[in-house]
Structure 1
Amino acid sequence: MRDSSVGGPLLWPADEPWPMCGAEGHYEPLRRPTEVVGPEPVAMVPVVQLYARDVPELPFPAGTDVLQVVWCPLLHDDGVNVVSPRLYWRDERAVGAGALRSDRPEPYAADEDFVPRPCMVTPTRAVEYPNRDLPEGLGEALTDRFDEVERRFGVSYFEAATTIQSKVGGYPGWTQAPDWPMCRCGRRMAHLLSVTATETGPWHGDDDAPAGHGMDMGDLGGVYLFVCTACPDRPFAHRYDC
């Protein structure tokens, strides 16, 4: 719990209830005899824990140095929330000074595509460029340059400019058309992090290597988290893209 991880144990106060999802209509696609799960709430699962010492570029709110992401391991009827993630910003020293939760409740039902296999993270820094987020008309204007990149390096600009893998910051690796959420303050939210199904291609070095966390997320999709750093309460949103 003192490490950055995907799907690992979280630095969680013993006196703080574990998050539960009580949404109506969340379901497990292959569940029988009925697809709908419930009515009792389902325990959320840990997805990401990041410490500032490992990713100092992540925009931690003042007084915090740990980001935790949990989500419901079931799908939801509206087709938008998908796994209904929640974010927690914490101060490691303050939480660690008290009693810590040594275990957590397991969900009584889950879609395994959205339950990560616990694994450590070793962040690698990279510079990204817009892919599908290029300003209108710029892609056409740079066609010759893009062709030259592909001739010289054997990979297209659109495959290499934006990493299609789990990451902090940078650009979402949109599969569908870009869909940036807007904050209630009127600003476009910033991309906080992505949790994607696969980590292959030129950035990974092995086109056939599976993602370490073992999640397929439906049709090899990804969940992108966004945050407004201008609002004091750090509102967030997410998109499911596959």
Structure 2
Amino acid sequence: MPFLDRIKSLFSQPVARPKVSDTKAAEPTQQEMQTAVNRLDELATTAILGEIGGSKPQKENRAASWWGGNFLGAQDEDVPVCSQSGRAMHPVLQIRVDELPEIPPAFEEFAVINIWMDLQSSTFWGAENGNGFLVRTYTDIDKLVPLGVGYRESSDLPTFPIFWRETISEQPSWEDMADEVPTNVAQAAADDWFFKSKYSSDRYFELRNKCPVKVGGWPTWIQGADWPKDAQFFFQVDSNDKGKMFLGDTGSFYIFKTADSWVIRGDCY
């Protein structure tokens, strides 16, 4: 199945909805339906979509958003090593926050966010920071220096600039929504209000297909919601050919921030 069709399937398959209750629900009233639609509007939030490449890179400018290399780091930092495997991690995604067309409130304290990964690890899907992956954040870009491989100095991942193409309102997945609406609505056969809402437009799916990096918004779960405890969703990366990132069968990874660390989750078909 093409990747665009797989993204659409996350919203268009009501059979994937979790069962809310064993009790047979009555048909929802008009007021209950309106309550559900209003709650969907309340929960919809801004996602910022990033394309890997697509325009001419400034190869020597590490003070930008990058994929696969050209990272910055603090002067006293080394390339991180996976705490479990002992292997050096590889630069995957650098986000220069002030390049975002809209800065989510949770990002305002940061200037740069980097994620490194042990590309040979199969254990990072639900790992804590430092085991298979590592998130580093910086508050002052002017104090950072080059760290790790530069532009196309490694064959492990291609090196591309990240271009933040568009902001778009994104609704939660069904599993993050079902408990937010009246039970009669959640169990009703009529579900176009959610699966064919104004947020699940053709344009949304086209942008998601083109832009595998997403900052903010909601995690687009595949097999089911898997939120870490007391965590805030920060960004998502989807499998993509251009960046040579393959996560299971067309999967994604999701980065969350807890009170004192970072957590990763992964999901695939």
Normalised-by-shorter TM-score class = 0.5 to 0.7
**Equivalent residues, number:** 190
How many Å separate the matches in 2 of 1:67 and 1:144? 38
Partner of 2:253: 223
Contact 1:61 1:89 in 2 (8 A): no
Contact 1:128 1:163 in 2 (8 A): no
What TM-score, normalized by structure 2, do the two folds share? 0.59
Runs of 5+ in structure 1 lacking a partner?
A: 25-40, 106-111, 183-187, 199-210
Q: Say which SS state the counterpart of residue 73 (structure 2) adopts.
A: coil
What TM-score, normalized by structure 1, do the two folds share? 0.65
RMSD of Structure 2 on Structure 1 (CA): 3.6
Moved more, 141-150 or 72-81: 141-150
Deviation for aligned residue 1:227: 1.0
Q: Say which SS state the counterpart of residue 233 (structure 2) adopts.
A: strand
Deviation for aligned residue 1:60: 2.9
Query: Given residue 216 of structure 1, which amino acid in structure 2 is its aligned partner?
Result: F
Cα deviation digits, residues 26-52 of structure 1 (max 9, x gap) = xxxxxxxxxxxxxxx211011111112
Contact 2:171 2:199 in 1 (8 A): no
Query: Given residue 241 of structure 1, which amino acid in structure 2 is its aligned partner?
Result: D
Matching residue within 130, 141, 146 for 1:101: 146
Q: Say which SS state the counterpart of residue 217 (structure 1) adopts.
A: coil
Higher helix residue share: 2
Deviation for aligned residue 1:54: 1.6
How many Å separate the matches in 1 of 2:232 and 2:246? 25
Query: What are the within-5 Å matches in structure 2 for residues 91-130 of structure 1?
Result: 91-96=139-144, 100-101=145-146, 103-104=148-149, 115-123=156-164, 124-130=166-172
| Paired-residue identity, % | 22
Cα deviation digits, residues 41-95 of structure 1 (max 9, x gap) = 2110111111121222262363x31111111111245864397221111133452
Runs of 5+ in structure 2 lacking a partner?
A: 1-61
Q: Say which SS state the counterpart of residue 19 (structure 1) adopts.
A: coil
Q: Say which SS state the counterpart of residue 17 (structure 1) adopts.
A: coil
Matching residue within 86, 89, 92 for 2:134: 86
Matching residue within 81, 96, 100 for 1:51: 96
Partner of 1:135: 178
Name the CA shift for 1:129/1:147 in 2 (closer, same or farther; >3 Å). Answer: closer
